Amino acid sequence: MGIYNALFTGASGLSSFGEAVRVIGDNIANVNSLGFKSQNIVFSDVLSQTLGVTRSNIANQVGNGVRIGAITRDGAQGSVQSTTNPTDMAINGNGLFALRDPASSQLSYTRAGAFILDKDSNLIDGQGNVVQGWATDPVTGIAVGNVRDITFANLAAQAQATTTVDPSLSLDSNAVPLATGTVFDPADPATYHYKAEVNIFDSLGKTHAVSIQMTKMGLDATGNAVWDWHATVDGGDVTGGTAGTPKEIGVGAGQTLPTASTVNVSGVVTAVGTQSLVFGANGELVTEASPSLTFLWTNATPSLVAMNYGNATTTDAQAVTGTGLDGTVQMAGSFATRQMVRDGFTSGFLDKLETDSSGTIFGVFTNGQRRSLYQVALAKFPNEDVLNHVGNNLLQETIASGTPVLEKPGNGGMGTIAPFGLEQSNVDLANEFVKLIVVQRGYEANSKTILTTDQMLQSLMQVKR
């Protein structure tokens, strides 16, 4: 009987609109949930009942109410809130962070990038799931291997011995050459003009103070100024030396000491020494005689160190010529060490983490070194709208969602990473309240349908009386 069907039609409206309130309430409740995407409810009619067919073959159909056709999610980007946590990340664009449950190895996915380090230095979310990514080559920064857990356990920057020292000195062109026949003695300042200092590292990361002594020998036949140089360390640092007494460093395992420039009785340099610098009329470095020195450390592997005084104009020790003004020069004025550059470093431990827009996580170590460690993986599904929501801002793969593709941030349509940021919920409260009013009125209207149908049934019962 049609009048009874009207009761069920109204009841379908009450049920559907009741579920709509539930969906809207869930949106409002998650207005502050990280990475939450609001849901929208779509209503559809129920299969109609055909009452009869007219002579024109037009079917007379009556609807049987309403039902929930679909509950969809709004994938719009939420706003990014800045934070001070270096492991917080937000995704600008497409993609989901991939997480692995260490107990079951179940993979989950999320937009909430509030990550922390656990006791084992694994990068995890609030539920202990480990963030997935690629290890990177520390030199090139390129991701290598397969996707794996991101962990920073047992990371250290091993010591690296110094191999190159680039002294940039300003030598006084007015310096008077020492008396002919003066022999260099590192313990006697009267046997050289100037001294510069630099700290270098051995293979164990220990620091050693190296002195560079400069001696003006005179002018050669063309009028160029010739300076000899020597390098010394404390004798206790190298084999064959005495602690507290400076020892000159030579070339090779035999420690061949430099041959001094030859000066004739007239004070003219007739032959340039094996460790010498020649400067032109404009103070530029013309010739650089600078063999690599061998430091025979007492408790570490010997070090071969190249002393690069700049790019000479004609003969350069590193075979790279230039203007002669980019390193050590000779100018009128007092002696000065403008710059002293050397490679190598002592050992260090992980101090802090940094992340860039490509999702590459860098480690900054206590010895000042900074190197790439991991690159975060982002996942993309053919149909993200049907992922299974398992709570705690986590999503899981379903048959309908398809197989995920893991890609690097910024590649293959993936979004980029906003470090020191968290994606907020995309719930629009004003819009939700408007929808709530509309649903409430729909619920009230359907209740009126049931009330009216009930009154009609009462009238029908009174006919029998």
pLDDT tens digits for 406-426?
Answer: 999 999 899 999 999 999 999
CATH class of domain segment(s) 164-342: mainly beta
**Which residues does residue 211 pair with via DSSP β-bridges, in sequence order?**
197, 232
Render 68-113 in DSSP notation, one character per residue: EEEEEE--PPPPEEE-S-TTBEEEESS-EEEEE-TTT--EEEES--
Question: Which of 462, 459, 458, 454 is CA-nearest to residue 8?
Answer: 454
Percent of the chain past pLDDT 70, that is, above it, reads: 95
Q: What's residue 462's pLDDT?
A: 82
First to last CA, the chain: 21
Place of tokens 């539930």: 22
Q: Helix, strand, or coil here: 186?
A: coil
Share of the chain above pLDDT 90, in %: 75
The amino acid at residue 221 is: A
Q: Is the dihedral of CA 132, 135, 140, 141 positive or negative?
A: positive
Does position 54 have pLDDT exceeding 70, yes or no? no
Q: What is the mean pLDDT of residues 129-145?
A: 92
Residues 6+ apart with CB under 8 A from 367: 157, 205, 345, 346, 347, 348
Instruction: With a cut of 80, say whether residue 100 has pLDDT above it.
Output: yes
Full-model pTM: 0.75
198 pLDDT above the threshold of 60? yes
- C-alpha angle 242-248-249 in degrees, rounded to nearest 5: 110
For the stretch 213-238, pLDDT in tens is 999 999 999 999 999 999 999 999 99
pLDDT band at 48 (very low <50, low <70, confident <90, very high): low
Q: Where in the chain is the domain with CATH 2.60.98.20?
A: 164-342
Residue 45 or residue 182, greater confidence? 182
Mean pLDDT computed over every residue of the chain: 91
Contacts of range 259-263, beta carbons closer than 8 Å, 24 or more positions apart: 260/183, 260/184, 260/217, 260/228, 261/217, 261/218, 261/226, 261/228, 263/177, 263/180, 263/217, 263/218
Per-residue pLDDT of 342-374, as tens digits, reads 999 998 999 999 999 999 999 999 988 899 999
Using alpha carbons, select from 136, 132, 210, 218 the residue that is nearest to residue 177.
Answer: 218
AA letter at 158: Q
